[in-house]
Amino acid sequence: MANIEHFRAFVLAAELGSFSAAARQMGKAQSAVSTAIANLEIDADVQLFDRSGRNPVLTAAGAALLPNARGILLGNQEFLARATSMSQGVEGHLCMAIEQGISIKPLLDLLRAFTSTFAHVSLEIVTPDPTDMAALLKQGRAELGLMIEQEGYPTGFQFRGVGYSRTVPVTAHDHPLATLAQVRHADLRKYRELVPQSRQSAETARTDRRKSPSVWYAENPMLVLELVAQGFGWAELPYSIIADRLRTGDLAQLNYAFQQSDILQGVDAVWTEQRALGVAGQWMLNKLLELPQDVWREGEQVA
């Protein structure tokens, strides 16, 4: 039965052009390489090399099967590398949940570093709303989450602040508020406020934070975005999800007369006490905590 050394002998002989060169590369006698390739031909029931000349030449079947043999060798290498990582405590899979509305741009360099450091770890990124985020972490579906900071987290949750998300007040381009050079509190109170809010946060929401007496709520910020674009009211939404609509002119940014600085919402890294982070997960958390604050402003300037 063919083993990995048979495939290695076949690939090296094909690439180097001779059985003797393959034998030197493998540190074996030429006869051992010739026997390995002959056994592989018997198992495959095809002739891989034409041996009639001075040097062996790939047959049509050998040339066709060479990529498969390379794939087997590569798969073997990946198997051994991943097994080594697992033996060192590195998990094979990491699921990271990033709440809708949080920009992934500040994380791109970190993800590139993760790829280099944990080449054999499968990374899954999901983008739930805040309600689903808590469930994903609690059920162990995700090991680590990034979410807009909450006033309180469920029992058993751990969190650390890692940055912020910029929020921008917007309305449809043809909404009456869009015509105002500066928008006062009194102006906002005349129109419906659209608020992204999960079921969980709704239980403890403070109504005095709302700027209008007329409020609609929706769990998904993308739904709030569509309602705003269709003229149902105004909203304060993460810049990351409205940037394209601002550039195309579908939305208009409101200029608050009573607030000169950006509206910032903290971003927390969240995980649970019930499930310890593996090596890759802990690395990801540590790197999130090390991110400089200015990285969160990259690409967040309104054109």
- For residue 26, give the CATH number of its domain: 1.10.10.10
- Judge whether 196 lies within some domain: yes
Number of domains in the chain: 3
215 and 193 within one domain: yes
User: Closest Cα to residue 172, out of 271, 219, 114, 242?
Assistant: 242
241 and 176 within one domain: yes
What is the distance of C-alpha 187 from the center of its chain? 40
User: Closest Cα to residue 238, out of 130, 143, 151?
Assistant: 130
- Last residue of a domain, which of 87, 111, 127? 87
- Judge whether 302 lies within some domain: no
Q: Helix 19-26 crosses helix 4-16 at what angle (to 10 degrees)?
A: 130
Grouping H, G, I as helix, E, B as strand and the rest as coil, residue 275 is coil
Residue 213 burial (CB count, 10 A): 10
37 and 8 within one domain: yes
Query: CA quadruple 82, 85, 90, 96: dihedral positive or negative?
Result: negative
- Judge whether 303 lies within some domain: no
208 and 249 within one domain: yes
Give, in order, the Cα–Cα distances in Å from 208 to each of 150, 177, 195, 219, 254.
16, 22, 13, 19, 21
Distance, CA of 291 to CA of 163 (rounded, Å): 8
Q: Along the 303 residues of the chain, how does pLDDT read in single tens digits?
A: 778 999 999 999 999 999 999 999 899 999 999 999 999 999 899 999 999 988 899 999 999 999 999 998 888 776 765 565 556 566 888 999 998 878 888 899 999 999 999 888 889 999 887 778 888 888 888 999 998 888 777 788 888 898 887 889 999 999 999 999 999 999 999 999 999 876 555 444 444 568 899 999 987 888 999 999 999 999 999 888 888 899 999 999 999 998 766 777 788 999 887 777 888 898 999 999 998 877 776 545 443
**Is pTM beyond 0.85 here?**
no
